[in-house]
Copies of this chain bind each other. A is one copy, B any other.
Amino acid sequence: MTTTQKPTETLVAELVEIERIHRLLSDYAFHLDMNHPDEIAALFTEDCYVAYGPDFGAEGREAYRETLGGIGSFFAATSHHVSNIVVDFGLDLATATVRSVLHAWHRYTKDRPDGHFFGQYHDELVRIDGDWRFERRELRAAGVVDFHVKKQIPIGRAGS
């Protein structure tokens, strides 16, 4: 949304879709913290690409769903906090590029310190039958504290 020189109907349509995209991002976090792998997978397209790290991701919803199977036993609890959401639409509000910021807290079932992740989600969304879905979701790290995944995709901070 870079200009207000649009007719009211268009602006309303954009704001409505932004709110629905916020909900998609919130639902993802909710179902992750609730250990609902089926509900998480349903938020992705069939041909999705998900990258949680340089060596850790999945191609396709079915493969992605499999990576979610261990959430319940690996973590005793998680809490995902998403903010700083920025949305840019493609043509006809049919696609969207979304950037957001994540602070995630993780308590492990193993006896080890809680892990923290600080970073960014970079998403490519598509609207299918009115519902927004993740076609591509990439998680990039600003930094981590006591986190179980050793290698992250960096946010690409300049000069560092």
Taking beta carbons and an 8 Å cutoff, which residues of A are in contact with B?
1, 3-4, 8-9, 11-13, 15-20, 22-23, 25-27, 29-30, 33-36, 72-73, 76-86, 99, 101, 103, 105, 107, 114, 116, 118-120, 130, 142-143, 145, 155-160
Other-chain residue from B18, B36, B86, B118 in contact with A27 (beta carbon distance below 8 A): B86
Beyond A12-B8, A158-B72, is A83–B86 a contact (Cβ under 8 Å)?
Answer: no
**A105 and B143: CB pair below 8 A?**
yes
Interface of A is mostly: mixed
The CA of A3 and the CA of B29, in the complex, are separated in Å by 22
- A4 contacts across to B, CB distance below 8 A: 13, 16-17, 130
The CA of A134 and the CA of B18, in the complex, are separated in Å by 24
17 residue pairs A–B, Cβ–Cβ below 8 Å: A3-B130, A33-B142, A34-B157, A34-B158, A35-B158, A35-B159, A36-B158, A72-B160, A73-B159, A77-B143, A79-B103, A79-B143, A81-B84, A81-B118, A83-B83, A103-B103, A114-B143
The CA of A107 and the CA of B116, in the complex, are separated in Å by 13
Beyond A103-B103, A142-B105, is A1–B15 a contact (Cβ under 8 Å)?
Answer: no
Known: A4-B16, A80-B84, A105-B142. 19 other contacts (CB 8 A): A1-B19, A4-B13, A4-B17, A8-B12, A15-B16, A26-B84, A30-B99, A30-B101, A34-B157, A35-B160, A77-B142, A77-B143, A77-B157, A78-B142, A79-B143, A81-B81, A81-B84, A81-B118, A103-B105
